[in-house]
Structure 1
């Protein structure tokens, strides 16, 4: 599969909304919007993201089809990566390839990432891209309705 990134187009947002409101994807991500089916909240979030200086968002394409998005956001010295890939494409190396491409584009380091401790697929993606676990935390996961263990990972420069 050919994985590539491009700037986010407004026409990508309905696809992202579908990805992010998928119940299994929502549960695995854990630290999500309170109501993943709230399109008004989703649109407001993306409007803020698009208007925030320094935020880098990219659409993930596989063989030309929109399959997710990757981003870097946050304050200097605390910048984080995030990504969402359509559940149909999990386990195919797409998230790893997309994140590697983004990391080539965004040269600043360190970068951080967070993942639910039991989301082994996401932790594996981050580790393949050079991130290392630096600590564990507990936090309230909207998608699960309870406090869960979370890993904080760091990509050093």
Structure 2
């Protein structure tokens, strides 16, 4: 496969990284354990892996070799890997005050899903989900502070 053909995945990876970065920037502003760079890398890697699987499926080099690639299995692998990273952002308080980092872990899973979506070529859907995620992370916090909705972790 020509090297120029290989670079066709790059714009999707950059786009996924930008979307993930927007979400990561919000997490960074709130001083969460996973921020801008982590979210960018998770989204970009997800898009890269899905784009790579699409390239391999279309590559004549592998035709007739019996190579089988199931993109949905790759999605499962991405989700499992990101879940491991997300688990590292969750901390239980030693004082028994609760658990912190669950929203950041969920945002990492979401940017992985955005990267997967972009990797499959659904750019508008990836953008829409990124904007919806930012709305959840910012607007719902604003409503919580004004006691318009119940807080995620009510005070004890």
User: What is the TM-score of this pair, normalised by structure 2?
Assistant: 0.26
**Structure having the larger proportion of residues in helix:** 2
Whose RCO is larger (CA < 8 A, sep 6+)?
Answer: 2
User: What is the TM-score of this pair, normalised by structure 1?
Assistant: 0.26
Max radius of gyration: which structure? 2
**Structure having the larger proportion of residues in strand:** 1
